């Protein structure tokens, strides 16, 4: 049996502390302040975590628009498809509606399912679920809270 290597790194950001988790050199989770569920000692950060910390720092400084990290979010086939669509089709500084993402995922009537995929997105910011808004442009649901979603969208304008 191959044992996986899990590690995490906590960093300060303009939206509060963020905890980045990597398993076997893949980013698997990004938690907002107070969300990290485990209380384990932090080991020296692997290269992937350090790259994620650097790239998030660049993002918050306004100099990075695209993340280049190995990701491995956990989720079903539809969620995986939605997360990939967000990364590929909703670039920095833009927004898209839940309905438009549902259409790109092959089911224009699956807006609520897209909302659930966003809610369960384990790597927020890097997988840009904050860029998904209501059909009328209103901000709706975000795991980190609407105030953080708004700050991220303002940062990208």
Give catalytic residues, as residue numbers: 129
Which residue reads 């700050």 in tokens? 151
Which SS3 state, helix, strand or coil, does residue 155 take?
helix
Cβ atoms of residues 122 and 30 within 8 Å: yes
Q: Are 41 and 24 in contact (CB under 8 A)?
A: no
Could you please report the per-residue DSSP string of 59-116?
HHHT---S----B-----HHHHHHHHHHHHHS-TT--EEHHHHHHHTT-TT-HHHHHH
What is the distance between the alpha carbons of residues 59 and 23, in angstroms, rounded to a whole number? 22
**Residues pairing with 30 in the sheet:** 20, 123
Q: What are phi and psi of 131, to 5 degrees?
A: -85, 0
């Amino acid at each position: 049996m191959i044992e996986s290597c899990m590690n995490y790194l906590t960093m300060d950001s303009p939206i509060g502390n963020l905890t980045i988790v990597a398993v076997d050199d893949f980013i698997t989770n990004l938690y907002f302040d107070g969300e990290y569920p485990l209380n384990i000692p932090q080991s020296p950060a692997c290269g992937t975590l350090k790259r994620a910390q650097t790239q998030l720092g660049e993002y918050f400084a306004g100099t990075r628009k695209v993340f280049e990290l190995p990701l491995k979010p956990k989720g079903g086939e539809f969620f995986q498809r939605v997360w990939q669509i967000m990364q590929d089709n909703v670039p920095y500084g833009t927004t898209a509606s839940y309905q438009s993402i549902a259409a790109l995922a092959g089911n224009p009537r699956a807006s609520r399912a897209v909302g659930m995929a966003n809610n369960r997105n384990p790597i927020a910011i890097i997988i840009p679920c904050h860029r998904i808004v209501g059909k009328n442009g209103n901000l709706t649901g975000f795991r980190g809270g609407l105030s953080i979603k708004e700050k991220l969208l303002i940062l990208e304008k």
